[in-house]
Amino acid sequence: MQIDLKQPILEKNDRIASELRERFAQNHVYVVDLLASPGSGKTSTILATIDALRDEFNIAIIEGDIASSVDAERIKAQGIAAVQINTGGACHLESDMVKRAIDVLDLERLDLIIIENVGNLVCPTDFDLGENVKVMILSVPEGDDKPLKYPGVFQVAQAIILNKVDTLPVFDFDVEAFTSSVKRLNPQVPIFHVAATRGEGVEEWAEWLAERIRQA
């Protein structure tokens, strides 16, 4: 006998995600689910985005990790509210985890929540967290072939950040090949070239996001 566990898990996840989406909309909070590999620069990009947007918007961050609270501490050190979720081994966040995390946030006061998902290019793509957009980061050292190997995440992303572009001179990363692979999977998606730790290219990405937050 074969029991399909994935379908019921996804159905429950989607139901809670719909409730969350409604709550976010009622409170005019724009929510980003940020997907990427470990070490690609998610936390660095979040910190750079906070710098760019904190004068205009009230921001909070939800940090998803298998263990530890080091990323939440990095965010809190900037005076920004951060909630750490430890999945205890799970490779992605689910909507009920986000539901518990937002209990400690003052949604009414917030304009933007960025959720740093668990570092992984596969598992998080299937899970709706009630977000407005899924955004993914690929960093240059990971290689230009990743859209070929992990097409799912490149298809669900509504914006893609190519991070660590400052390292292009030392890696064999073919930007043109990468761009055309991405465009084959997701023709309309914008690709932002960023060096998060240097603040390069952050302005264009932050403006794209700011436009959407203002509309929410």
List contacts with Mg ion (CB under 5 A): 42-43, 71
Give 42 or 146: the residue with its C-beta nearer to ligand GDP. 42
Shortest distance, position 18 Cβ to Mg ion, whole Å: 28
Give me the residues paired with residue 133 across strands.
Answer: 32
**Beta carbon nearer to ligand GDP, 43 or 49:** 43
User: Where along the sequence are the contacts to ligand GDP (CB under 6 A)?
Assistant: 36, 38-44, 119, 163-164, 166-167, 195-197
Minimum CB distance to ligand GDP, residue 173 (Å): 13
Query: Please, are residues 35 and 125 in contact by the beta-carbon 8 Å criterion?
Result: yes
Report the alpha-carbon distance of residue 56 to residue 33 in Å, rounded: 20
Q: Which two tokens stand for residue 21?
A: 């989406």
Write down the least CB distance from residue 43 to Mg ion, Å: 3
Nearer to ligand GDP, 117 or 186 (CB): 117
Residue type, 90: A
d(CA 79, CA 152): 35
Q: List 31's β-bridge partners, or say none.
A: 113
